[in-house]
Amino acid sequence: MAGPTVFAQVMALGHRETFNRCVERYSGDAYVKNFSCRDQWLAMAFAQLTYRESLRDLESALGARTGLLYQMGFRSPVLRSTLADANERRDWRIYADWAQTLIQRARRLYAKDSLGIELDQTVYALDSTVIDLCLNLFPWAHFRSTKAAIKLHTLLDLRGSIPTFLSLTEGSVHDVNILDLIPLEPGAVYVMDKGYVDFCRLGKMNDTGAFFVTRAKTNTAYYVAESRPVDETTGLRCDQTIRLRGVQSKRDYPNGLRRIHFVDEKKDMSLVFLTNLFLPPALVIADLYRARWRIELFFKWIKQHLCIHSFMGTSSNAVRTQVWTAVATYLLVAILKKTVVKAPSMHEILQVLSVTPFEQVSIGELFAERQTPIDTSFGTDYIPNLFS
């Protein structure tokens, strides 16, 4: 008797009982006779793993192997009209909660990965990426007068490159507003660019016991309270304790800040950092900010490998459903890489899964004899652990 399909084995990594609880929380299957939330999730995950970019394309791909649908986990046929209705009407929070449960599992698996920096604390990178949309089809996604877009705000755990917090907003929402939403973890370090500099919000972060590393804006008014010696041969130019001068900024952030000036001669860049981390050496602060580039690689990677550039619905609910199912699929493959297939890169795993979803062979056997190339599609500097 043939075993389960490759697709079914990947989906089995997500605990069925946990998914059912997410569905029950929002009454996702209330009054549903056919095509449950489980069928919807499997269809959207299949679209991600096999790079299907339209409902018609997805329907054709699954319709070509109807004899295997039951072995893949489906309990109803996948029709584009039925899936379109499900994406429009069923609460996207079902899949957001589902992704959050997978985030917790993935973080535990990658918790011991090396950060590449001599620091014991958890380090997060915070940033956003814009996903362009057609204004005529997505008029609710306000961005500019002639353009629609959504923003995917992401807090990335740099150990393993696992997203721990995601928020999908209209493109017009400013990045700094997300600081009000992210869960602050005392003792953790949050690395951000200067678009997140708001001394009121940074003051609240400092008060909770969290640390931040960010770039200084050129118009920041301050005076130097203390200056420490630096080795200029390392690229450092100054390591200072400063206090803000502005009336409002002093009120918002009355404590001292550490200001570090670093020059990267290879890239001809002059960088000024602000942080409330005073104990680590100044070069560690520079390395922390350099590691922030991993979130840029993460955004580039998901845009290249996940279907979030063309959408199978035009409503806010449909777009959010597709983004969250894409994130959940990414996390399942990350869990697969750590628990079953440890050798290949994420890129290679996805390439193999995309052409073997209907195969009835063990995933372990499928990858057993493969080599372990390094995925260098983003260059060699600071390749995220998860991708290599």
pLDDT digits (tens, 9 = 90+) for 5-45: 999 999 999 999 999 999 999 999 998 889 999 999 999 99
Model confidence pLDDT, tens digit, residues 307-357 = 888 899 999 999 999 999 999 999 999 999 998 877 668 888 998 999 999
268-300 tens-digit pLDDT: 889 999 999 999 999 999 999 999 999 999 999
Q: Which residues pair with 148 in a beta bridge?
A: 133, 142
In 268-278, which positions are buried (b, 16+ CB within 10 angstroms) versus exposed (e)?
Answer: eeebbbbbbbe
Whether the predicted model's global pTM rises above the 0.75 cut = yes
CA distance 15 to 293: 33
Distances (CA, A) of 344 to 13, 300, 377: 18, 19, 14
Alpha-carbon distance of 153 to 132, in angstroms, equals 14
Whole-number Å distance between alpha carbons of 36 and 38: 5
Q: For position 343, what pLDDT does the model report?
A: 62
